[in-house]
Amino acid sequence: MIMDKDTAFFGHPIGLRTLFLTEMWERMSYYGMRALLVLYMTGSLTGFNPGMGLSAMDANAIYGIYVGMVYFMVVPGGWIADNILGHQKAVLLGAIIIALGHFTLAIPIEQTFFLGLILVVLGTGLLKGNISTIVGSLYRDNDQRRDSGYTIFYMSINIGSTLGFLICSYLGEKIGWHYGFGAAGVGMAFGVYQYINYRHLLGDAGLNPNDMLDSRRASLISWTKRSLVLMFIVIGLGLFGLISIDPRVFAENFAYFLTIVAGAYFIYLYGFAGLNSSEKKNLLLLFVLFIGAAAFWSGFDQSASSLSIFARDYTDLSIAGFIIPIGWLQFANPIFVVTFAPIFAGIWAHLGRMNMDPSLPLKFAIGLIFMALSFIVMVYAVKLAMVSAPVGMQWLLITYLLQTWGELALSPIGLSAFSKYSPKKYMGQMFGLWFLASAIGGVLAGLLGGDATVDGLNSVQPIFTFMIQYYVVIAIALIVMAYLFKKKESS
Ligand code: GLN
């Protein structure tokens, strides 16, 4: 047999193993720490495991800003990799900064808390998008294995988050918050160690930045340095309390900012980037998907905000006499992803063979309908809790199951849609846009989570009901779009 292709990792290039393990440890640290964040911030100042004593509103807003920033920073992180560092080095630097961030959070004083969060944000900006880009560059243009490469990569995300919830939630909630944060740092350090040792397996995938004249690169580097200095001054002023920030107001403005940036970018690409008519049509499709994704993540990311608070305050967490950590309920999501991903892939393939594969907007609408259903279950659970709390943990588990089905109809498909339908010249930036949808969803999750939990159970039901309505409205809009796209195609 002639082996003309590298198939050493489950039939894929061996470099995928390096990326798989790096992403696994990065997501272990990200989700493990994130599951503790709101609980730590809203935890009371006294007791065996003292928290920060913040209000639910402020804690959720900070959580939203954090998640939003993590995904927003993917955009400048991608730019720096494309033009200056190359993707491989950007991932390395990002991983080191993330580990430093988690270790900073592990210091048991409040003063370093925000510094730790900022480091994780900056590091993730350098790592998350760029590692996803390297996955694609492991394959030649016409290599059929790219899609399944992304599927394997998606598994690493979920194995990582399972480990994170398991380890960080146990240590953080049962022993002390800062042990949980420290464990996230240790996980990321494993990731750094293996990336340094096995980076050579990537060959030249993502090794070099874009070609350009030395003088142009030098001027980009000098602009980047100046922007970084400015950014560090602003961060320093914030950390030393010289500019005061109201988290809620900041989060609201950040949500507007992200929406305007994304909107302006789509308008620029559509009107002024010299795209031909079929590229423009694809861009419209991606815009529609973008709206669906942002709405979807605004519900999904409440797992570590309002749903976590519901788990803590109104859910019976005992199993055979052992009170499980609150964060453990969240590993329902990654476990369901790993279980159901092949089934969903099979369903789409089967429908495809019968020529009935739903169009992309339709799949996104299905994702949102599942999200709406998941919150209908929660509204029911809230009603039960109002009569007598705590309620059983099955409600949250069913909610996560429905959300995972929604995720599988939307997230892996969205990633490959953006790689397939983006104008080729703008590929890197389009991936940035895909993550901007996650950024908008993340901030909205913080804002909605804050509104939902501000007044105990009383405020949950109206906010969740409002969310259900807006998911359904957007889903209907997507279905109409799917119909219009189809009509245009057949005419
Ligand atoms: N669960 C996926 C990940 O962690 C997608 C998250 C997102 O885009 N909001 O990569």
- Ligand 1 centroid–CA 488 distance in Å is 32
CA of 12 from ligand 1 middle (Å) equals 22
Could you tell me the distance, in angstroms and rounded to a whole number, from the CA of residue 231 to the centre of ligand 1?
A: 26
DSSP code for 9: B
| All residues at 6 or more sequence positions from 406 whose CB lies less than 8 Å from its CB, including other chains | 296, 300, 366, 367, 368, 369, 370, 371, 374
**3-state SS, residue 315:** strand
Query: Whose Cα sits closest to atom 4 in ligand 1?
Result: 157
Which residues touch 412 (CB under 8 Å, ≥6 apart)?
150, 151, 154, 341
- 89: CA distance to ligand 1 center in Å? 22
Amino acid at 203: G
Given ligand 1 and candidates 305, 435, 438, 443, which is best to mutate, with the most ligand atoms within 8 Å of its CB?
Answer: 438
* Ligand 1 atom at minimal distance to the Cα of residue 435: 8
Q: Are 90 and 76 in contact (CB under 8 A)?
A: no
Q: Which atom of ligand 1 is nearest to the CA of 31?
A: 4
In this prediction, residue 352 carries a pLDDT of: 83
d(Cα 265, Cα 435) in Å, to the nearest integer?
13
Signed CA dihedral, 452, 455, 457, 459: sign only: negative
DSSP-derived 3-state class of residue 12 = strand
Which pLDDT belongs to residue 491? 60
Whole-number Å distance, alpha carbon 458 to ligand 1 midpoint, is 30
Which CATH number fits the domain 15-211+245-490, given the four candidates 1.20.1250.20, 1.10.287.70, 2.30.30.110, 1.10.357.10? 1.20.1250.20
pLDDT in tens, the chain (491 residues): 344 578 889 889 999 999 999 999 999 999 999 999 999 999 989 888 999 999 999 999 999 999 999 999 999 998 999 889 999 999 999 999 999 999 999 998 877 999 999 999 999 999 999 998 899 889 887 787 877 888 889 899 999 999 999 999 999 999 999 999 999 999 999 999 999 999 999 998 888 888 888 899 999 999 999 999 999 999 888 888 888 889 999 999 999 999 999 999 999 999 998 899 999 999 999 999 999 999 999 999 999 999 999 999 999 999 999 999 999 999 899 999 999 988 988 898 888 888 888 888 999 999 999 999 999 999 999 999 999 989 999 999 999 999 999 999 998 888 778 877 888 777 767 888 899 999 999 999 999 999 999 988 999 999 999 999 999 999 999 999 888 877 766 66
Q: What residue's CA is closest to ligand 1, atom 8? A: 438
C-beta separation of 331 from 393 below 8 A: no
Q: Which of 305, 339, 92 is nearest to 192 (CA)?
A: 92
Distance 461 CA to ligand 1 centre (A): 26
Please report the atom of ligand 1 found closest to the CA of residue 297. Answer: 9
pLDDT for position 466: 97
- If you take atom 10 of ligand 1, which residue's CA is the nearest one? 157
pLDDT confidence of residue 489: 63
Q: How much distance in Å is there from the Cα of 353 to the middle of ligand 1?
A: 29
Nearest CA to ligand 1 atom 9: 438
pLDDT at residue 426 in the model? 77
Phi, psi dihedral angles at 391 (to 5 degrees): -100, 170
Residue 133, SS3?
helix
Ligand 1 site-directed mutation target among 157, 302, 333, 431, most atoms within 8 Å of CB: 157
Task: Give me ligand 1 centre to Cα 71, in Å.
Answer: 9
For the chain, give every domain's residue range: 15-211+245-490
Longest dimension (CA), the chain: 70
Task: Give the count of beta carbons closer than 10 Å to the beta carbon of residue 93.
Answer: 19
pLDDT in tens, 99-122: 999 999 999 887 799 999 999 999
Number of neighbours of residue 149 by Cβ within 10 angstroms: 23
User: Atom 6, ligand 1: which residue's CA is nearest?
Assistant: 438
> How much distance in Å is there from the Cα of 313 to the middle of ligand 1?
26
Residues forming a β-bridge with 318: 323
**Closest residue by Cα to residue 324 from 390, 406, 407, 405:** 390
Distances (CA, A) of 356 to 318, 352, 417: 45, 6, 18
* Shortest-distance atom of ligand 1 to CA 442: 9
Q: Name every protein residue with a CB atom under 6 angstroms from any ligand 1 atom.
A: 27, 157, 297, 411, 438
What pLDDT score was predicted for residue 261? 95
Question: How many Å lie between the centroid of ligand 1 and the Cα of residue 440?
Answer: 13
146 alpha carbon – ligand 1 mean position (Å) = 19
Query: What is the atom index within ligand 1 of the atom nearest the CA of 411?
Result: 5
Q: Choose one of 338, 411, 415 to mutate for the ligand 1 pocket test, by most ligand atoms within 8 angstroms of C-beta.
A: 411
Q: Is 121 helix (H, G, I), strand (E, B) or coil?
A: helix
Q: What's the CA gap between 149 and 81, in Å, rounded?
A: 22
What pLDDT is stored for residue 238 in this prediction?
Answer: 86
